[in-house]
Structure 1
């Protein structure tokens, strides 16, 4: 399960990058990604790119319930997958999960099996959100979809067998960016307490690839600067990196990071998002937020999904799962 589907742009140049920066156990996966045909991501070919997503089969259990929750005012209801709601007698923790896809592609079903695994392993409830995509729905459409799902989960927690004080927000790639935006919004509105945020290689800064160029060895496998610029342009409804953007749309540009819940950020050191992850973690620490940052040497974007058995992937997964376990502790 890639954070972006096969066939999407994986680099800004036609030549393959030097794989000496890639962890040896990840090189075969890197070559496989680089061997896939790609074209610049544009609005004209976006439908084709979206069609490349092939969801993995669902697991036999736990059950996946397809529901709709009340949407933002004046907008459609929000589709969600509700996973792991078998009665246990005691309120359980919950994850509000947000999928990736560069803000412009992907769907909840691509990560359903992953969410089923989480529900089983942690004996928790998972709400997997199918938010509306850009550019058809620019900011704040998807953000309000995610907030509506979070509000529903908190409001109906008792009925769902959930402890309303143990709700974690989690996402990967653009889903990690959405998770960060949502956690900031929940803090500002003061209606829903978020126990923790788990941000896996999160998309946090619209300036990356727009007004900030990464070093040549970073962001060449899995997600590149040009695709990132297109994703942010689409999400913002205008040029990424410009002086003024909608307030709250880009977590890296939010001035006040205080009063946020404990945060885990994980990223590879050759991922396009490594610098913004460093900077966000640094600012969280300075704002007094308990923060864990894990940077994986030789790891590209979504490495843990494409090469889950590699040592670095297993270590990375153990790290964020430990943070999740800590957040769920009563």
Structure 2
């Protein structure tokens, strides 16, 4: 059986996706910038129920051509998950935009040249709904919407995701060969971590619980469970009708806020969550955008977990890995 390539194997989403593929009995090859992280990756995959004897780890950097032909040799399917996600926004937007765009194009060209059947690309809701709209709380956002990368004041991260995804579609239209492209646009990705190296969303949950986040940021956002995003990757690869389409990945129901997340954690975990913020940062009222997941549900049969399950199981995973201490 040909291996499936997953880029950025040590990442939050990729570890769950690799474990899911291995649970299906699929051999997996994954790329990492440095093989020094290989053992931690294998531990994470085993923690997710995957048999890592069917996992091959190879070095490849999104900013260099070396390694990609070998990584793709014999692969008919590619899940391109790797992408830079900053803890703080850089002053120079090109620090994010160039790696995001060029890395994506490098993987797509290499996949095309290797005769890959389909690539499923993890983009972001940041490429869909970061241009404010007066009807965001009523009509909402669908896969037909795009963030305007030239909008004044747009942060580097949503600009980088928009530019990279646009470049991906343009490349496939011009010179994609026989390779199909599917794009997933997740909202905020939360859910259990398989590693002790925390990423952006799990860092936020930890900061809420340990008191580091004393005031909740004023923000409204959608949530998707990392396990459901991995499942959507599998469905997007398997279903013929997914070819050439975008799919928003977001849990059912309304968008949420950090203050609402804090209240949910306090309700579920009591004294353990006594340090979560009880106030939101000052500012104007923000619209609560509607984000539609109908296409993923209807076309791919996707059924995401509820927000409450995702958030409580995120905390439970942090506790199980010893990344949180009781407060009393």
TM-score, normalized by the shorter chain, greater than 0.5: no
Q: TM-score range by the shorter chain?
A: 0.3 to 0.5
When you count helix as a share of all residues, which structure comes out higher?
A: 2
Taking structure 1 as the reference length, the TM-score comes to: 0.33
Larger radius of gyration: 2
Taking structure 2 as the reference length, the TM-score comes to: 0.33
